[in-house]
């Protein structure tokens, strides 16, 4: 531990010498980085230990956030800043001739998540600790995170993400807390004990690695626990050892890079049960170290299930209570139902998780028995309370058509079910889960997502932070609602001018990155129009491309038609097996190759695809945006959080009334965002009426026809067959996501944005209003609501 710059320097020198046997002057930059990372981790130790002790001695209730994904991003800068040591360390290193930014850039960005869902989990951990609340993460320690995207000839290729190859000094292996997790085998009735036992099981050892989660300006330091699989002492006798050890390794090898469909089914189910069982076992053991029994388990622990991936926690806790601690069914069920809370993240039907009964029964025989019994009793309950039980059962059965419906199990076994934006929760209550909402009217609630304004504004946009500091001070760092004080300055010409300078500075940084990585010069005076997020049909990157194609074609055929220069920037990973998504990426890069080089358009239009989008890139991209593209088909995006990051950095949203865009629109008003497209009700009505025809629109709108026709031409420098799959989706599968229906209003919204941008005063005002109103989207607000309305947990008090 160090408390002054001089101490830091001395310990840093010693650290390098001790670790690598050479003086600082002769050490390599990577060695310096490893030492700095370790020193920063050590710096958390005292607070980490103090937090554990306080929570224990206060007998406080804790929340455990169970998630298959935590998309943490780099930790070094964040942790030094949260702890308040950043400036000291930066200056200390500078004294030693080292630029801290060089070391910061060596940290790998652990991609232990796909997108929004995993990033939400990471923002929540930051806000929990920063609000001094006792709350921990529980997940898998993946050997390889989400693949690294490498573009080859405009196509996405995937390479493994070796995130731990250099070092990971944040984690501490906690061997004393390891547990075994059982798979396969069978369940037998033991006459002697009068109990069921799981025999012939394949045991896999789960070893926790803990990472400290430091809060901002608080001693509270929580834990992210990542479980790693190892060979158990209990080696299966009926299996070849090599086979067994390969199965052990497989469990923690890969993050599933597909967040919308099921793949590698059995292995994925194994992963789920692995981290859930280990996590629940560890919490039970910790509880019993402090309390005589588990009767008060739900008073001291609550488990938040991030989507359905960790829902096996429900039957697993039942199994532990009934089999291992001899609880009667109803007593156990009462504890479980008061412990578990579930967050729903999607209403896309293909993403609602179901597991075939035969897989579940074979892999997890005792857990499956628990699910069967839960289902049997739940069915009885429905028959008792529902007016038309058969009709209701059709929609709520946990086991139906030989499949286990994880969302149904989650709702039946938890005390809270929340959606992640107001419109999303309303859809759950009024349509998707309406039968459940009738059965349990008080269980459903909304918690609109948020993002940590520390990482996404204070730490990643220093020029904007400084401008805010000079204008309204820094109270907003502790209380993000205080950003609203900026409203008093939105018409101040000096502040407007300074804001435009800040934006330009961030655009220059991104332009330099693009020059280096894409080899394209972009004009920082052009509108930076950005869509970065996972590539998915419902997010409609294709609609954005269609607009670009339209602009290009219009400029080519009409010399009078000229636009304000615009730079369209995309970043997106596609699931490796998602054919359509990969073709859209290729379309973006191909269109870019043409428009960026055409003498008629190159000064007006640039299209850039940024390779390997992830948290670290997002931290550079968000501050540089003028326009934020949030254009999903209304009703399909549960919340979105990218939209919030853009807003907080002063970009205007071009968006549909979907997810949290609805709340953004409500906060900033019509004048400060550009809303377009069908509403969710209109989308539902379009599907319901069955009258939608993409061919009709095609034949009635010359612009659309010309854009679509280009997909089957060589206009984009490819074979005319290259984009047939994209064409088919729109025309012969009747445009499931209604791009053609929204095209005209999207073009108009974009035209409006162009007009606004030309008036620099008006534009700066819009951006400042967006920043001022963005405090609502801090995850500190979201976590405050979870803590008060769901978890009933209190800040950790120092003893």
Ligand X SMILES: *Cc1c(COP(=O)(O)O)cnc(C)c1O
- 459 vs 455: CA distance, rounded Å: 5
**d(Cα 6, Cα 489) in Å, to the nearest integer?**
41
Is residue 76 within 8 A of residue 119, CB to CB? The reply is: no
Give the C-alpha separation, 421 to 400, whole Å. Answer: 29
Q: Under the criterion CB under 6 A, does residue 225 sit at the interface with ligand X?
A: no
Cα separation values, 229 from 181, 200, 233, 249, 275, Å = 9, 19, 12, 7, 9
- Least Å distance, CB 117 to ligand X, is 8
- What H or E segment, with its residue span, contains residue 364? none
Residues 6+ apart with CB under 8 A from 274: 140, 181, 204, 206, 227, 229, 251, 252
User: Nearest approach, Cβ of 148 to ligand X (angstroms)?
Assistant: 13
CA angle 163, 167, 169 (to 5 degrees): 115
With respect to ligand X, which residue has the nearer C-beta, 111 or 134?
A: 111
Task: Write down the least CB distance from residue 451 to ligand X, Å.
Answer: 7
Instruction: Out of 110, 134, 413, 614, point to the residue binding ligand X (CB under 6 A).
Output: 614
Give the nearest distance from C-beta 533 to ligand X in angstroms: 3
Mask 329-358, x = binds ligand X (CB under 6 A)? ------------------------------
Among 115, 310, 365, 480, binds ligand X (CB under 6 A): 115
Q: Among 311, 340, 346, 339, which Cα is nearest to 425's?
A: 346
Query: Which has the closest alpha carbon to 67: 276, 263, 242, 330?
Result: 276
Establish if 215 lies at the interface with ligand X (CB under 6 A): no
Nearer to ligand X, 119 or 169 (CB): 119
Under the criterion CB under 6 A, does residue 257 sit at the interface with ligand X? no
Q: Is 3 a catalytic residue?
A: no
Tell me, rounded to whole angstroms, the distance of Cα 132 from its chain centroid.
22
Residue 575 in the binding site for ligand X (CB under 6 A): no
Under rule CB under 6 A, residue 119 binds ligand X? yes
Among residues 319, 533, 586, 606, the one annotated as catalytic is 533
Q: Are strands 179-183 and 202-214 parallel, antiparallel or unpaired?
A: antiparallel
Write down the catalytic residue from 270, 345, 454, 507.
Answer: 345
- Partner residues linked to 342 by β-bridges: 305, 417
Rounded Cα–Cα distance for residues 585 and 581 (Å)? 7
Residues in the chain: 799
Judged by CB under 6 A, the residue of 455, 503, 533, 566 near ligand X is 533
What 3-state class would DSSP assign to 172?
Answer: strand
Using CB under 6 A as the binding rule, whether residue 435 contacts ligand X is answered as no
Catalytic residue among 641, 653, 656, 782: 641
Q: Is 221 assigned a catalytic role? A: no
Applying the rule CB under 6 A, the residues between 120 and 179 that interact with ligand X are none
Phi, psi of 74 (to 5 degrees): -65, 150
The interface region with ligand X, picked from 85-93, 111-119, 501-509, 647-655 by CB under 6 A, is 111-119
CA atoms within 13 A on the CB side of 580: 17
- Annotated active-site residue in 148, 268, 507, 539: 539
| Catalytic residue flag (residue 645) | yes
Among 36, 618, 664, 707, binds ligand X (CB under 6 A): 618
Which one of the listed residues 534, 540, 606, 773 is annotated catalytic? 534
Residue 610: its H or E element: strand 605-610
Give Cβ neighbours of residue 678 (< 8 Å, ≥ 6 apart). Answer: 633, 634, 656, 686, 738, 741, 742
If one asks whether residue 615 binds ligand X (CB under 6 A), the answer comes out as yes
Is-catalytic flag, 705?
A: no
677 binds ligand X (CB under 6 A): no
Measured at CB, which residue is nearest to ligand X?
Answer: 642
**Does residue 641 belong to the site contacting ligand X (CB under 6 A)?**
yes
For ligand X, how many residues bind (rule: CB under 6 A)? 12
Q: Of 645, 665, 765, 781, which one is the catalytic site residue?
A: 645
Rule CB under 6 A: is residue 74 a binding residue for ligand X?
Answer: no
Q: Which of 640, 655, 677, 775 binds ligand X (CB under 6 A)?
A: 640
The whole-angstrom separation of Cα 75 and Cα 41 is 10
Nearer to ligand X, 232 or 633 (CB): 633
User: What is the rounded distance in angstroms from the CA atom of residue 787 to the CA atom of residue 779?
Assistant: 12
Nearer to ligand X, 15 or 115 (CB): 115
- 153's CB contacts (< 8 A; 6+ apart) are none
Residue 74 C-beta: closest distance to ligand X, Å = 12
Q: Which residues contact ligand X by CB under 6 A? A: 115-116, 119, 533-534, 614-615, 618, 640-642, 645
Annotated catalytic residues are 345, 533-534, 539, 641, 645
């Amino acid at each position: 531990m160090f408390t002054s710059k001089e101490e830091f320097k001395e310990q840093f020198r010693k650290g390098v010498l001790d670790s690598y046997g050479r003086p600082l002057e002769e050490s390599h930059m990577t060695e310096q980085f490893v030492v700095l990372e370790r020193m920063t981790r050590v710096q958390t130790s005292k607070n980490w230990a103090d937090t554990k002790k306080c929570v224990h001695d206060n007998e406080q209730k804790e929340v455990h956030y169970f998630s298959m994904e935590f998309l943490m991003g780099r930790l070094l800068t964040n942790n030094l800043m949260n702890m308040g040591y950043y400036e000291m360390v930066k200056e200390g290193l500078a004294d030693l001739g080292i630029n801290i930014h060089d070391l910061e850039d060596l940290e790998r960005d652990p991609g232990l998540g796909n997108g929004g869902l995993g990033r939400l989990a990471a923002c929540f951990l930051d806000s929990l600790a920063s609000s001094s609340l006792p709350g921990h993460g529980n997940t898998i320690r993946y050997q390889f995170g989400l693949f690294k995207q490498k573009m080859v000839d405009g196509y996405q290729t995937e390479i493994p993400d070796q995130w731990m190859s250099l070092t990971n000094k944040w984690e501490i292996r906690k061997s004393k807390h390891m547990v075994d997790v059982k798979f396969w085998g069978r369940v037998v009735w033991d006459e002697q004990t009068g109990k069921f036992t799981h025999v012939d099981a394949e045991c896999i050892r789960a070893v926790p690695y803990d990472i400290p989660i430091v809060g901002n300006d608080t001693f509270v330091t929580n834990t992210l626990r990542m479980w790693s699989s190892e060979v158990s002492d209990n080696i299966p006798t009926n299996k070849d050892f090599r086979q067994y050890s390969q199965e052990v390794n497989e469990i923690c090898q890969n993050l599933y890079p597909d967040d919308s469909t099921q793949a590698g089914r059995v292995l994925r189910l194994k992963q789920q049960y692995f981290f859930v069982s280990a996590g629940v076992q560890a919490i039970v053991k910790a509880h019993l170290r402090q309390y005589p029994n588990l009767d008060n388990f739900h008073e001291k622990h609550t488990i938040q299930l991030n989507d359905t991936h960790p829902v096996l926690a429900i039957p697993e806790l039942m199994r532990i209570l009934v089999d291992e601690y001899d609880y009667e069914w109803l007593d156990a069920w009462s504890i479980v139902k008061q412990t578990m809370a579930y967050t729903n993240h999607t209403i896309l039907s293909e993403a609602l998780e179901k597991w075939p009964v035969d897989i579940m029964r074979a892999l997890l025989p005792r857990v499956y028995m628990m699910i069967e019994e839960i289902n049997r009793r739940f069915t009885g309950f429905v028959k008792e309370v529902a007016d038309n039980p058969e009709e209701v059962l059709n929609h709520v059965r946990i086991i139906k058509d030989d499949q286990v419906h994880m969302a149904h199990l989650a709702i039946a076994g938890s005390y809270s079910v929340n959606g992640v934006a107001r419109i999303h929760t309303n859809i759950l209550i009024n349509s998707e889960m309406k039968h459940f909402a009738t059965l349990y009217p008080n269980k459903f609630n909304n918690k609109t997502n948020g993002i940590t304004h520390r990482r996404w504004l204070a730490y990643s946009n220093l020029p904007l932070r400084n401008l805010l500091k000079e204008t309204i001070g820094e109270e907003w760092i502790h209380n993000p609602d205080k950003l609203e004080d900026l409203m008093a300055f939105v018409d101040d010409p000096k502040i407007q001018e300074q804001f435009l300078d800040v934006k330009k500075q961030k655009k220059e940084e991104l332009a330099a990155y693009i020059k280096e990585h894409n080899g394209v010069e972009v004009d920082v005076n052009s509108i930076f129009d950005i869509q970065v997020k996972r590539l998915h049909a419902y997010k409609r990157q294709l609609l954005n491309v269609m607009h670009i194609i339209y602009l290009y074609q219009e400029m080519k055929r009409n010399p009078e038609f000229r636009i304000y220069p615009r730079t369209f920037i995309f970043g997106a990973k596609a699931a490796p097996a998602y054919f359509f998504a990969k073709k859209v990426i290729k379309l973006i890069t191909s269109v870019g190759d043409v428009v960026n080089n055409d003498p008629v358009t190159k000064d007006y239009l640039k299209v850039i695809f940024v390779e390997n989008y992830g948290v670290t890139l997002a931290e550079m991209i968000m501050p540089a945006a003028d326009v934020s593209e949030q254009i999903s088909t209304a009703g399909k995006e549960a919340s979105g959080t990218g939209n919030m990051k853009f807003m907080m950095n002063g970009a205007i949203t071009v968006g549909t009334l979907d997810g949290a865009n609805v709340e953004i629109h409500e906060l900033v008003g019509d004048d400060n965002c550009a809303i377009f497209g069908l509403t969710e009700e209109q989308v539902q009505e379009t599907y319901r009426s069955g009258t939608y025809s993409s061919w009709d629109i095609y034949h009635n709108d010359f612009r659309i026809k010309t854009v679509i026709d280009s997909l089957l031409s060589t206009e984009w420098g490819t074979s005319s067959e290259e984009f047939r799959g994209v064409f088919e989706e729109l025309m012969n599968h009747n445009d499931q996501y209604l791009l053609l229906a929204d095209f005209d209003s999207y073009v108009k919204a974009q035209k409006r944005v162009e007009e606004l941008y030309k008036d620099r005063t008006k534009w700066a005002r819009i951006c400042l209003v967006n920043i001022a109103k963005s405090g609502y989207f801090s995850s500190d607000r979201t976590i405050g609501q979870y803590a008060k309305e769901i978890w009933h947990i209190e800040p950790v008090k120092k003893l």
